[in-house]
């Protein structure tokens, strides 16, 4: 997991060949003004879910994992809290891993909770179970999906 400022994104671009494309697009577009929806940058290899969602209480949010994608979470209009727990510390998922949608959910608490502010991003890798969209009220955010 990496938490950093969008202003410092170049430092992390060498971690994956598609990171630079994603960060360049995000920093050169006003995505809060764009209608919510999927933005395809490289088909299923790199896309952005521009979402408007309601935040929920931490005790009601499940941890999720992905195997095929790295996520980059970027809140656009207010602070988002995201829970984290190491994949190696998880027990049984609610159901079998959903390979078509690339996720599994876990009903256990996160180990840590991180505030992610507008202008910041949080990268979560497959070993990072995460519980996004925690807080109160509505949130506009980007979820960048980058295929491994």
- In whole angstroms, give the CA distance from residue 7 to residue 122: 13
Does the CA dihedral 17-29-4-99 come out positive or negative?
negative
Q: What are phi and psi of 48, to 5 degrees?
A: -125, 130
pLDDT at 100: 94
Q: pLDDT band for 7, please (50, 70, 90 cuts).
A: very high
Q: pTM value?
A: 0.96
Per-residue model confidence (pLDDT) at position 115: 98
Q: What is the pLDDT of residue 17?
A: 96
Find the helix or strand (DSSP H, E) in which 22 lies: helix 19-27
Q: What is the pLDDT of residue 44?
A: 96
In the chain, domain spans: 2-147
Q: Where does the pLDDT of residue 16 fall: very low under 50, low under 70, confident under 90, or very high at 90 and above?
A: very high
Q: Model confidence over 105-144: pLDDT tens digits?
A: 999 999 999 999 999 999 999 999 999 999 999 999 999 9
Q: CA 95 → CA 53, 104, 141, 147, distances in Å?
A: 24, 7, 27, 23
CA distances from 73 to 3, 48, 91, 93, 133 (A): 10, 10, 24, 22, 10
- CATH architecture, range 2-147: Sandwich (2.60)
For the segment 37-92, what is each residue's pLDDT rounded down to a tens digit? 999 999 999 999 999 999 999 999 999 999 999 999 999 999 999 999 999 999 98
């Amino acid at each position: 997991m990496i938490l950093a400022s969008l202003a410092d994104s170049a430092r992390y671009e060498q971690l994956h060949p598609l990171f630079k494309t994603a960060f360049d697009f995000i920093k050169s577009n006003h995505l809060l003004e764009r209608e919510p929806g999927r933005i395809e940058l490289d088909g299923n290899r790199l896309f952005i879910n521009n979402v408007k969602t309601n935040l929920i209480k931490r005790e009601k949010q499940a941890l999720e994992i992905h195997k095929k994608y790295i996520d980059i979470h970027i809140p656009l209009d207010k602070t988002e809290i995201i829970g984290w727990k190491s994949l190696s510390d998880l027990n049984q998922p609610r159901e079998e891993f959903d390979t078509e949608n690339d996720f599994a959910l876990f009903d256990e608490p996160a180990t840590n909770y991180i505030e992610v502010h507008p202008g910041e991003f949080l990268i979560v890798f497959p070993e990072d179970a995460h519980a996004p969209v925690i807080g109160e009220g509505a949130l506009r955010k980007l979820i960048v999906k980058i295929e491994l």
